[in-house]
Structure formats: structure tokens, C-alpha cells
Structure 1
Amino acid sequence: MALTEIPMRQSIRFLKTADGVTLAWAEAGEGPALVKVANWLSHLEYDWDSPCWRHWMHFFAANYRFIRYDERGCGMTDWDVGDLSPARWIEDLEAVVDKAGPAEPFILLGISQGTAAAIQFAALHPDKVSHLVLYGGYSQGWKFRENDAGRRAYEAIVELARFGWGQDNPVFRQLFTSRFLPDATEDQIAWFNELCRRTTKPDIAARLLQARAEVNVADYLARVRAPTLVIHAQDDEVVPLAAGRRLASEIRDAEFVQLASRNHILLESEPAWTRFKEILLDFTGRPPGGARAEDPVFQVLSDRERQILARMGAGESNVEIGKALFISDKTVRNHVTRIFEKLGVSSRAQAIVMAHEKGFRGSG
């Protein structure tokens, strides 16, 4: 994680859709616009500081004007909405683009089911999209896949959501969430479980899941003209690798990258996350680690010290850093002392200023 990957703030705003839904959207960062289509389950505030999504959000905002939104039915967007069908996804994306007004053409990112609306938008508005990036996605939901066992398993998960989602005991939600993050720590799984509970209601969770099963944008694949990058974790337990390969095979000249991971949501600590960042920056023509070269002075820092210096630059306290990195407050203090010694500074403020002025890139 680089220091430049930790913007200090995001701006959250609201818009009203054509059918009267109050939809929450946010932006952060500077540079070429990157619009992320909404995906399961999001909350503009909770995601920003979560151990599962934080590194994603801050990486995008460090390198782009990053625009995202909560889909209807969850997060800071209206929950009690009549229509949660896939047909509304493209309309909501168009509404966000119209309100945010990104410079065109812009980069469009679809993650998981968000790839469906991204594909449709790119096909319908070829002049607006400079690059299309699809991660962990699919063009058809379980309703249209030739896999009876997978379809029955998905239907069972929908019913579990309907009856067990809101219970204090997380066992029902964990049957679902553990598929997204099979390599996560207990704390990360607990956080993701809590995100799910706090961002929607049981009946809406079931309806959102059912809507995913009804996705079908297969007819739009051949109509996409933007340069397209398809990325997929090879052992993804939520969306099978075959779904990603189909996207790449049916979108003209699409580039396909397979990552060595089991996680549908890539974790900050795994090599696949570093690879994802490198691929995305290269594909969109962004310089790795920012435009400035890093000063050699930072080469004396260990990987852990680089992580801590990056988080210091974000304004985090020792306690907050310890919680984020799963180490004690005392251990953080010891690392901070060594950082000061190695950089020849005597205070936190001096270390942060040096990092900014000398192009510190963090841990990568």
C-alpha cells in the first residue's frame, strides 16, 4: 500500500433517480475518471475504512478521480425500493455518470455482478468509455447457466438470506460471506458479516441475490468496442473462472488475466492484489506508484515499516494502525521509533512531510 493510496477524505452526495429512488454516490481523488459500478454489498462509509475493501477504495482514489455509488436496496441508498431488477442497474449507472459529470471518455470498472451493467453501458455508450475493466464478473446469472447443482446451491443461499440474514447469530450470513473471502482472518470475516447485516435487510438481501441470478447481458458482449481487460481469480468460489473466460472470449480483443487466488475480494496481503494493481495501472496508462520516482532514502525501511509509514501519512494513530495490521500498539511504537531513526527525523510530522516530498510509494 502506498502513501498516495490513502486519500484523506471522500465526498458523499445524493441524487434522485427517474423512478424516485434516493441514490448515494461518492467521489475521491484526482486524475482520469474511473467509475465503479455498484456491487454486492456496499456502504460508501463503511467500505472506506474496512479491512476488506479499504485498500481497493484508496488505491483507486490515489490514481484516478474515483466515482462509485451504493446500489438501490443497500448502503446509503434507499433500501425499501420496489424494483431491484437488473433492468434498473444500467439506469442507475447512467444517472450517476450524468450527475458526477466525469470527463469523457472515462474508465469503467465492473466488479462481480457490476460487470453486467458495465458491459451494457459500454455497449450502449461507446463514445463515453475509454477502457473497460471487468473483475470477477459474468454475463449470465445462475438462472441461465447449465449447472443444475450450482443453481440449486444458489437458490438455497437465497433462502438462507431471507430467513437468517438479520439474526444476531452470524452463522447464516457466514455461510454466504466465507465464500467471498475463504483466506480471510477471523476479524476480516467478522467485519464482512457485520457489513452485510448493517447494509440491508433480510428480505432485500434475498431479492438482491435473486436479481443476480436473473442477469443476462450475453447479447451485449459482441457490441463492446472499448479496450477491455478481464481479470479473474483462478479459484474464485463465488463466480467460476469459466464465467470470466467467457467474457474475454466474446468481447472483441479483450485481454484476460488469471490471478492466483481463491478470494472473490482480493485481500491486501496477498500477491494477487499487488498483481491486480500493476495490471490495472498498466492497462489504463497510469504510472506505477504515482508520477514521481521514490527517493532512495526509503530503501532502508522494511516492508512492515513502509506499511506503517503509509498509514501514518493517512493520519492514523498507533492504535488504529495496530488494529489494521493486527499487531499490538507497543509493536507499532517500536516500528515508528525505527522509522524515525532510519529517516533521520524526530517527529511524526517530519516523517510524513518527508514521505510526501520525496515521493514515498509505500509497500506496493
Structure 2
Amino acid sequence: MRRLAKLVLSSLRGEGASFVSGERLSEALGVSRTAIWKAMEELKRRGYPIESHKKLGYRLLSQDQLYNDLEVELLLEDLPWGHPTLFFDEVPSTQDVAKQLALQGAPEGLLVVADRQSSGRGRKGRPWESPPGSGIWASILLRPNLSPAFLHLINFAAGLSVKEAITALTGIEDVKLKWPNDVLIGGKKVCGILTEGSVETDRILYCVLGIGINVSGEGLSEALSDKATSLSAEAKRRGLNPPSRLQLLAELVRRLYGRTAQALSEESERESLLREYKASCETIGREILFEEEGSWRKGIALDVDEFGHLVVRSRGSTRRIASSDVFHVA
């Protein structure tokens, strides 16, 4: 029924404001009139304004796109990823759903989206606020043919994809990346990226990429207002229009598909990806605070190496940080 509802929705959109008969839809889609009626009822249940007329058939009263699985799959119909898209009003965590499905053999490109997460999380299990209607809370399943030593390239590809999608749809140019997994606008966090998965010695069994983007900022606690921002707030500040969650999610998946292919390509392409990441990384050249052996230290971030480590100069010596909380010093 879900697949048929998607086809019927596409057909109705193609008719514009005109009626189309159930008989014509039935013939075009190769299903019974009863199946068409059930698909219409499913679309109405999902919130689509459909007018039914005994003699004329059906028509869609609005071309507005809703934020749901059908719309995401229609926007990504030419792409291998995003099929299926599983959409939930609420889940504890899209990461947990995607990881469970990965263990059950779900295909690469599976996309899990929620309007709200009750137990969203970031790095080291920290809570991630994800109130309803306010952002993109999504996880995508990857099965990359990549050595675990280069898993950081997937994380970097995700950061660049978010940055590029935001700029393409809003016109905001000063989108920056913070090592290892944040996206910033004006020095404030607008997106967090979480990469989890299962690896063996020489291969990645699966990787789940979790992405949380603050779009409207509604429901964001005041405690985070000095550290976090939203696309709506930043677009308004610049006199620009914020994107819809649907369009941004589709643009993000599309760009992520291309960037991940780059990460899996030949060495020169991987090197190019790393150079682009470093060019966008606001951490490089900054004074930072980082955690080492249970203590906080100051240093200057010099570079990001080919293994994704942050190269830091601190206390007269150079060290490479594989994983640590990092704070930019104002």
C-alpha cells in the first residue's frame, strides 16, 4: 500500500489542479479501482488534501509537500539511497533503529527519520535535544568497502555534505566544520554528526551515520543558546529564507551519496576530500582546549592528518589526537 500510495501521489501531482478518474489511475498503475481507493484513503490519513468526486474522480487540492517517507523517496527516486525511508513520529533514537536493522541485513542507503527523538544522543552518549517539528533527526546505513583505518573519511564526507547542502539551500556562506564532528555557523553549533558501526580487523561490516540539524530552533533550551543556533535564526539574521526540512534532508542525502563515493574512490580522490575538509575546518589554526589522560590542556591545532587525527602543538611538543572533546578558545 505504501508503494502504491507514493505512485498515486506522484500521479495526482502530475495532474496539477485537474481531476483524474479512478479508472484512469487504475489502468495506468495496473491495479484495481479498489486498490486506488485504498491508496487515496491512505494519503488522506497522512494529511494530503484530496477531493473526491463521483463523476470526475480525484484531485490534489494543494501541491505542498509534507515531511514524510513518501516525499523523501520521491525526491530521491533517481538515487540508490533513501529506499526505503522509514519515518517515525517519535523514536528513542534513529541510531538505535538503524543499527538494529543493520544487524538484520538491511541494505545500504536505508534512511531512518524521526520527527522527535526521546533519547537522542551525540558523542560519548551525551543527550541530544531533538524536539518535534524543529529539526532533521536522521540516520543512514552504509556498508562501505573501506579499511577501518579510513572510517574518518565517512565522517568528514558527512560534514562537508551538511555544509554544502545548507549553503546550496539557504545561501549562508560562512558554514564551518569543527573537528571531529560538528557543523558551525557564526561559531555556534547547528549540526552534530555521530558515526557508529561494527568493524572487523580489516573491514567495516556496517556504519550508521547519525545527523542532527537544528532547523527552526523551536524547543531548543536556553541553556544551549550561547553554544547552539538554528538555520532559521541564521538565515533570518542574513535576510535569507530557511529551507524546509524535506528539501534539506533530500539535498543532504544526495550530496552525501556523492561525497561517500569520493571517500571510497582512488587515493587521489580521498586526498582531495581531506583537503576540502581541512579548508572548511575552523579548528585548524585555533587555540583549543582538549582532554588528555583525564586532564584538560591548551594547545594550537595545526592540522588534520591522513588518519583523521588532530595535530596539536602543546607544551612544546606535537601530538596527534585520535578522539577527544575539543573546545575552541575564544
Q: Which has the higher helix share?
A: 1
Larger radius of gyration: 2
Q: TM-score with structure 2 length normalisation? A: 0.24
Higher RCO structure, 1 or 2 (CA under 8 Å, sep 6+)? 1
Q: TM-score with structure 1 length normalisation? A: 0.22
